[in-house]
Amino acid sequence: MTAAAPVRRIAAALLALTATTIFARAEDVNDYPTAARVEYVFGCLKANGETRQAIEQCSCSIDVIASLLPYQRYVTAETVLSMSQVRGNLGSQFRTSEQASGALNDLRRAQAEAEVRCF
């Protein structure tokens, strides 16, 4: 019985280490807030017919985008999309900026990949 106690402690330590590693990886991949994911899925559903199949596809799509694009880059691209619709000089800065078009291109690439994988 005395030999089993150290083995149990080692097994428990390995289990704790494995669980910590799994949770750390999940946190790295899942840096999109739930509200951002839901917002994306709602918009996607509106564009794709609001069916059960569309829910699956849209959920898959945001998961793919989240795996390819860090959340801060996603926010930047969404801001560029929104602000580029503003008329005048302010909107022009978002339409012509190299940084803005880079962020937008990253989002479009991620969306294209999501389209291929999910739809």
* Residue 20 pLDDT exceeds 80: no
Q: Report how far residue 115's alpha carbon sits from residue 57's, in angstroms, rounded to the nearest whole number.
A: 9
The answer on 51 and 25 residing in a single domain is no
Domains contained in the chain, number: 2
The domain of 46 spans: 33-118
Q: Report how far residue 37's alpha carbon sits from residue 23's, in angstroms, rounded to the nearest whole number.
A: 19
The answer on 74 and 22 residing in a single domain is no
The pLDDT value given to residue 77: 95
The pLDDT value given to residue 22: 41
Per-residue pLDDT of 31-46, as tens digits, reads 999 999 999 999 999 9
Which residues have CB under 8 Å from 111's CB, separation 6+? 61, 65
The pLDDT value given to residue 9: 57
pTM of the model: 0.71
